[in-house]
Structure 1
Amino acid sequence: MRKEFLFLIFLTLVFTKATMAQTRSRGQEKVYTNPLKVQLGDPFVLFTNGTYYMYGTGPATDRGFSAYSSKDLVNWKPEGEVYAYDNKNGWSDPNSAWNGAYWAPEVYEVKGKFYLFYSAQWKVNPAKEMENFKIGVAVSDKPTGPFIDLAAKPLFDPGYPIIDANVFFDTNGKSYLYYSRAAYKHPVESEIANQARKSGKFKEIEESWVYGVELKPDFSGVTGEPVLLLRPPVKLKDKQAAWESLSVTSGEVNRRWTEGSVTFKKDGIYYIMYSANHFGGEHYAVGYATGNSPLGPFKKAEENPILHKNTHKGGIVSGTGHNSIVYAPDGKEMFCVYHGRTIATGSERVVFIDRMKVENGKITVYGPTTQPQKMPAVSR
């Protein structure tokens, strides 16, 4: 028994080491492994002046956001707090549910300034709703802050809670905001909801939907009305219904999500990637849709999901989602940055980066991986 016990300890140590990100040499080739040594959810990466900066939802900052910097997309250095809720224009309520719900920050460089879009709980809450999420915009002269809110109020109020801001800058100079309507108090009828009722799992199913709307040039608000772009399937025969409904059909929770979107354009096609299912569960996964304009209509890809757990195949990764995209230092290699969980990290979300390809109207993500792979290319 003692030998078996010692052997089990040995295997555990080897396994834990294998799941930690590290840079080392394999012959003459430098390699890295996922997950990276960054504990964040909803990771977003900005590249500016030869340096990458990563932002996300995480424990490193209390009621605000921190950042990390890197030269190679693999080795990251903490940069400390970059946004604090109590800046002079702060509009959020840090004492509300989820400690104010400071979630999903994304930073963009525009004309020498850096703009941080994020979600938080609005302190103007006369109905005392548990989920009063809104989107804010803060500005700084540096990617490491300090970021100060542009105004002492959210970007806009569509009349329902919203999260997961993503901004797309089109080639015609216009910019667009994408966000997710929270599932809170948003019950939706569908064949999936009927099935859940009949099986005795849930009485109703709440849903989150992705919308898009044009931004004002100075980010002081939006132009026009938001357009519904993506929602969970209504019919059981829909090819997306099975994977997008796993949180419901598995009995996990009475919600279906469409959230964490990221939009980009390549070869004249607009792509919008999104995450479905419960972010805290094993079924969190990524799909995508394509369209001919930034506000759709978008058609979901038949091969969805393109990034999901591998535990059912003997792997150790689950809960893969809320991704962003970034290019390697050579400007050619494309990477998908996302959070996930491993058997070793448990419920904690950690960051992965894996190569991706966009070709002939299709997206392929080569992940999740935990095996050594070559470092992102550096030559330009």
Structure 2
Amino acid sequence: MKPFVPLLFCFAALCGYSAQAQSNQRPASDKATFSNPLPVQFGDPYVLFTQGRYYMYGTGGADKGFAAYSSTDLVNWTKEGQVYFHQNKNGWSDPNASWDGAYWAPEVYDVRGKYYLFYSAQWNVNPTHEKENFRIGVAVADKPTGPFVDLTNRPVFDPGYPIIDANVFFDTNGKAYLYYSRCCYKHPVDSDVAELARKKGWYNEIEESWVYGVELKPDFSGVIGQPVLLLRPPVKLSDKQAQWESLSVTAHEANRRWTEGSVTFKKDNVYYMMYSANHFGGQHYAIGYATASSPLGPFKKSADNPILAKNIDKGGVVTGTGHNSIAYSPDGKEMFCVYHGRTAKTGDERVVFIDRMQVKNGRITIAGPTTIPQKLPSGVATSGRE
């Protein structure tokens, strides 16, 4: 394909739309409130706003590919069916590998009228027969509902280790950056937590996943330069982040510490990177964030972390809160954290939550997790009936 220069997005690059584009969007609802969780069984939910409508993509709900939902108000969602199929003409993945090909964490971006889907899957080039052979691909479509076709018959690039959880940020200077998580697989790391686990007889080693960033070529055909390490679990137990980021180990859920599901945006010349730590399948999955003055760091983690976590220890019913994206209300005035979690009723099934969030004075706060009724997103017209 011919190279092009991406649109100059800021928040729009992350969320798939600008607040201005929504100023006239006022969908109607017959209720004045909504409650979490939403009736969408997705992990890793990502929301795009384009052409006056929201689209949600996530892990699950499709046969070795990806499905989508659409909405006018962020609350009521309609199934759009499967939008990406692994057997498209340029498909590079292995649907017969572990986890049915591991089609995970799709994100879709509107760039000059084309829709680009970044995702993780098992690569069919696997001469050493690795169980976790994940790479990141990109597919394109003319509509947000697909069908998406891979740009080429290979991943975006091969760093030499398994990677998942792609997130793309378009800076105001026109450059695009790809963020991803290096998997824990065969990545044991020495740390105070690893030493503690050995002394306690919990695990012989602790594997870790780390978040990296790298500049993307303008046509998404590859990367520019070498990936830069941006976030990793704390090395020292004295680090204030160590306690919450090590719960998968100290609670004996797994011999791994995760740093994954990153999402980056820019506000007031500050780069914010939200991320998830701990086992996605456990109750301690939670969200933190870090800030930087440039898109490739260095990033400093917030002392407020975690900013979203389980609430069962406070009388609630929600666990496993993580891997978020960001969306705005129809009038653009409210910011929402879109994430997956579990409740006592949903069991192991991951379902979607949306809760209000704010970025003020360099701090991110999220009013969640909630399960009680709350007001509809601002700009949603209602009939006045409860």
On whether the aligned pair clears a TM of 0.5, the verdict is yes
1:24, 1:32 within 8 Å by CA — same for their partners in 2?
Answer: no
Cα offset for 1:142? 0.2
Q: For residue 51 of structure 1, what is the aligned residue in structure 2?
A: 53
Unaligned residue ranges in structure 2 (runs of 5+): 1-28, 382-386
Offset from partner CA, 1:192-232 (integer Å, 9 cap, x none): 00000000000000000000000000000000000000000
Question: Secondary structure at the residue paired with 2:37?
Answer: coil
Structure 1 runs of 4+ off > 3 angstroms? none
Question: Secondary structure at the residue paired with 1:194?
Answer: helix
Aligned equivalents of 1:139, 1:348: Cα separation in 2: 29
Aligned equivalents of 2:167, 2:347: Cα separation in 1: 28
Q: Please give the residue correspondences for 1:75-90 in structure 2 after superposition, counting only pairs within 5 Å.
A: 75-90=76-91
Cα offset for 1:158? 0.1
Amino acid at match of 1:152: N
Q: For residue 359 of structure 1, what is the aligned residue in structure 2?
A: 360
Please identify the structure whose Cα radius of gyration is greater. Answer: 1
Q: Which structure ranks higher in relative contact order (CA pairs < 8 Å, sequence separation ≥ 6)?
A: 2
1:34, 1:353 within 8 Å by CA — same for their partners in 2?
Answer: yes
1:182, 1:208 within 8 Å by CA — same for their partners in 2?
Answer: yes
Amino acid at match of 1:187: P
Question: Secondary structure at the residue paired with 2:115?
Answer: strand
Q: For residue 331 of structure 1, what is the aligned residue in structure 2?
A: 332
Amino acid at match of 2:250: T
Q: Please give the residue correspondences for 1:90-239 in structure 2 after superposition, counting only pairs within 5 Å.
A: 90-239=91-240
- Say if 2:42 is the partner of 1:37: no
1:24, 1:31 within 8 Å by CA — same for their partners in 2?
Answer: no
2:73, 2:380 within 8 Å by CA — same for their partners in 1?
Answer: no
Cα offset for 1:302? 0.2
Offset from partner CA, 1:241-287 (integer Å, 9 cap, x none): 00000000111100000000000000110000000000000000000
Q: For residue 322 of structure 1, what is the aligned residue in structure 2?
A: 323
Q: For residue 11 of structure 1, what is the aligned residue in structure 2?
A: none
Q: For residue 298 of structure 1, what is the aligned residue in structure 2?
A: 299
1:264, 1:270 within 8 Å by CA — same for their partners in 2?
Answer: yes
RMSD: 0.9
Cα offset for 1:24? 6.1
Relative to the length of structure 1, the TM-score reads 0.92
1:67, 1:79 within 8 Å by CA — same for their partners in 2?
Answer: yes
Cα offset for 1:332? 1.6
Question: Secondary structure at the residue paired with 2:47?
Answer: strand
Q: Please give the residue correspondences for 1:254-293 in structure 2 after superposition, counting only pairs within 5 Å.
A: 254-293=255-294
Q: For residue 18 of structure 1, what is the aligned residue in structure 2?
A: none
Relative to the length of structure 2, the TM-score reads 0.91
Aligned equivalents of 1:175, 1:325: Cα separation in 2: 18
Aligned equivalents of 2:135, 2:330: Cα separation in 1: 34
Aligned equivalents of 1:147, 1:24: Cα separation in 2: 34
Question: Secondary structure at the residue paired with 1:281?
Answer: coil
Unaligned residue ranges in structure 1 (runs of 5+): 1-22
